[in-house]
């Protein structure tokens, strides 16, 4: 964990950091590190957070407050009062939700938190997503213009970030915006975890997915670096007003699959399936969404046209600015380490079932 010299040890002790999304994938890791150096207040949405997660946060010494980021700016101001900093991680990460469902949390909720931070005059670290940058050709940076929308989730997060930048530019909101690449590691239950599970447990499904996306390139990120980037932003006043793409390992899915083969099976590469039908996955995505709509369930494999486009087009970016300014110049952790952590955690969970 990186602590910038911009904040003294005395100032660290006086900090009180308000965190949304503390029970989420990145949030748990961030709070676990942050609670070691300063006071932490976690906003918990009781209906969607397990008692186990609440007790885990309490065991770290965190103060728990119950609320909902969609309740309005005034409600957020009331629960954030007394805090010196804020980290906004809560969001709807879903490739099958409607635009209205996504915007309620990713736009309205984010703006409520930002307005409260502005009202209280505190530094906000806002987590966006690399998907906000849309379709990009080649390697891009923070300065690259946003491209054509790839998925509704990314577009929703982009609308939220745009309004937050407006509060920064017009009203002086003290904010640092972080755009993580695909995050991997212990506790992952997102689309990356679905892909890994498919590759390692279902030769037919995993083979189709692995071959369909093998040439797509993403800039991957260890979850510990995703959380440390937020802490680095909190601890360095010079990051206020800046935006960062966070990720350090550009890998194609073929290279990613080779890591999986080595870690799970001790092989150099996965066996190629007899069926290699690239467009089949796209057709299946539309069918799965249609069937899910009729049955009132989630799409099979969580495969949708949006998730298909995200994996197919990829996000290859340069995350060196975040490495220098948020992670103190330290190299990004190896993705192989994140996959080992995920495997160990996944196996331990399965053994307890």
For 123-157, write each residue's pLDDT tens digit.
999 999 999 999 999 999 999 999 999 999 999 99
Residue-wise pLDDT tens digits, 93-133: 999 999 999 999 999 999 999 999 999 999 999 999 999 99
DSSP-assigned beta bridge partners for residue 17? 40, 85
pLDDT of 5:
47
Please report the pLDDT score of residue 350 as a whole number.
44
What's the pLDDT at 171?
98
Intervals of the chain under pLDDT 70: 1-12, 203-207, 271-278, 348-353
Q: Which residue has the tokens 């049955």?
A: 295
3-state helix, strand, coil in the chain (%, to 5): 55, 15, 35
**Separation of CA 5 from chain center:** 26
Which pLDDT value is given to residue 278?
63
Length of the chain: 353
Task: For residue 183, list its beta bridge partners.
Answer: 221
- What does the pLDDT read at residue 198? 84
Domains of the chain: 13-253+311-348 (3.40.50.720)
Report, in angstroms and rounded to the nearest whole number, the Rg of the chain calculated over CA atoms: 20
pLDDT of residue 353: 37
Can you spell out the DSSP letters for 170-198? HH---EEEEEE-SEESTT--SHHHHHHHH
Q: List CB contacts of 43: < 8 A, sequence separation 6 or more.
A: 18, 19, 20, 22, 65, 66, 67, 69, 79, 90
């Amino acid at each position: 964990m990186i602590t910038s010299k911009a904040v003294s040890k005395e100032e660290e002790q006086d900090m009180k950091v308000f965190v949304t999304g503390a029970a989420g994938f990145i949030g748990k890791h961030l709070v676990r590190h942050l609670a070691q150096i300063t006071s932490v207040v976690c906003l918990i949405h009781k209906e969607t957070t397990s008692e186990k997660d609440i007790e885990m946060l309490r065991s770290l010494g965190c103060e728990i407050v119950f609320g909902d980021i969609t309740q309005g700016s005034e409600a957020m101001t009331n629960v954030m009062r007394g805090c010196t900093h804020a980290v906004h991680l809560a969001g709807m990460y879903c490739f099958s939700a409607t635009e209205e469902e996504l915007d309620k949390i990713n736009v309205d909720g984010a703006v409520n938190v930002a307005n409260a931070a502005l009202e209280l005059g505190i530094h906000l670290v806002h987590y966006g997503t690399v998907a906000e940058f849309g379709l990009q050709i080649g390697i891009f940076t923070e300065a690259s213009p946003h491209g054509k929308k790839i998925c509704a989730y990314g577009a929703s997060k982009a609308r939220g970030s745009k309004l937050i930048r407006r509060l920064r530019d017009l009203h002086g909101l003290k904010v640092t915006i972080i755009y993580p690449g695909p995050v991997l590691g212990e506790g992952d239950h997102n689309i990356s975890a679905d892909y890994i599970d498919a590759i390692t447990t279902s030769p037919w499904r995993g083979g189709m997915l692995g071959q369909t996306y093998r040439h797509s390139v993403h800039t991957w990120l260890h979850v510990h670096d995703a959380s440390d980037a937020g802490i680095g932003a909190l601890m360095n006043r010079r990051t206020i007003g800046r935006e960062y793409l966070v990720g350090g390992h550009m890998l194609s899915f073929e290279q990613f699959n080779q890591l999986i083969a080595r870690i799970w099976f001790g092989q150099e590469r996965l066996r190629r399936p007899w069926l290699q039908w690239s467009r089949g996955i796209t057709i299946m995505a539309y069918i799965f969404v249609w069937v899910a709509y009729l049955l009132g369930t989630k799409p099979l494999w969580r495969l949708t046209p949006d998730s298909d486009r995200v994996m197919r087009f990829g996000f290859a970016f340069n995350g060196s600015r975040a490495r220098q300014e948020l992670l103190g110049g330290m190299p990004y952790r190896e993705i192989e380490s994140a996959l080992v952590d995920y495997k160990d955690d996944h196996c331990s969970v399965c053994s307890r079932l």
